[in-house]
Amino acid sequence: MTKILIVEDEPDMRRGLEDNLQFEGYATVSTSNGLEGLRLARQDKFDLIILDLMLPGMDGLDLCRQLKREGSSTPIIMLTAKGSESDRVMGLEVGADDYITKPFSLRELLARVKAILRRSGALSSLSEFQFDDIYLHFGRYEATKGSRPLQLSPREFEILRLLAEHRGEIVTRERFLEEVWGYESAPSTRTVDNHIAKLRQKIEADPDNPKYIITVHRIGYKFAL
């Protein structure tokens, strides 16, 4: 089970995070104190830490810095105050993997949690996939076509992984944006179409009449069974 540590001293916010993450199927452990957060993070293995910036005991920046210094590879999402550019920059400097500005929507937070867990491998069940003469290793971002290496970008791997994990099912363009693009920017669904077109050039024998990545008109794509 995917385990998330929440370090947040505002009781309502902490409870809201716990409830929603648990509802999504994650196990959570939470604390309101930075020092206690450090102790918990050291003692147990978490897949993700959601970390508030201003905390009693030890603040979020010091906590993040300390864990990274100790060699922790657990991804960290920082909760930063609205409009504070310096918080954001500092957070990334001390090694946070992502930040989210308060107030945020739960939908946005959950999308980012998912994107980070997917990137770190905590959520992906599929590590390899093969079709036609193409072999994909998602963990290593390695691909071959026949006996030759196939050049795919990390994003193209993630698109293929999402399709492969749901082969035969429709994956909507919105879902691609949420799970492959995550927070980074706010690309349009058109971006998805462009990436799929490029990907088809690389993997389909006849990109104009694709055999594998099938368009589902106006909705999204699916990988042919």
The residue with its CB nearest to Ca ion is 54
| Candidate list 13, 54, 164, 214; residue touching Ca ion; CB under 5 A | 54
Q: How many residues contact Ca ion, by CB under 5 A?
A: 3
CB of 10 to Ca ion, least distance (A): 6
CA dihedral 132, 138, 139, 141 (to 10 degrees): 90
Angle among Cα 5, 10, 16 to the nearest 5 degrees reads 65
- For the chain, state the CA radius of gyration: 20
State yes or no: residue 62 binds Ca ion (CB under 5 A).
no
Q: How far is the CB of 135 from Ca ion (least distance, A)?
A: 48
Q: How far is the CB of 55 from Ca ion (least distance, A)?
A: 6
Residue type, 115: A
**Token pair belonging to 105:** 């929507």
Q: Which of residues 2-21 bind Ca ion (CB under 5 A)?
A: 9
Which H helix or E strand runs over 164?
A: helix 154-165
Name the strands in the sheet holding 128-131, side by side, starting at the edge strand that comes first in the sequence: 128-131, 134-137, 142-145, 148-149
Q: Which two tokens stand for residue 10?
A: 């505002």
Q: Which is nearer to Ca ion, 52 or 178 (CB)?
A: 52
- Give start and end residues of each alpha helix (H) in 82-224: 85-93, 106-120, 154-165, 173-176, 189-203
In the complex, least distance from residue 31 CB atom to Ca ion, rounded to whole angstroms: 12
Binding segment toward Ca ion, per CB under 5 A, in 44-52, 102-110, 122-130, 152-160 = 44-52
Regarding 52 and contact with Ca ion (CB under 5 A), the answer is yes
Q: Could you say whether residue 59 binds Ca ion (CB under 5 A)?
A: no
Where do contacts with Ca ion occur on this chain (CB under 5 A)? 9, 52, 54
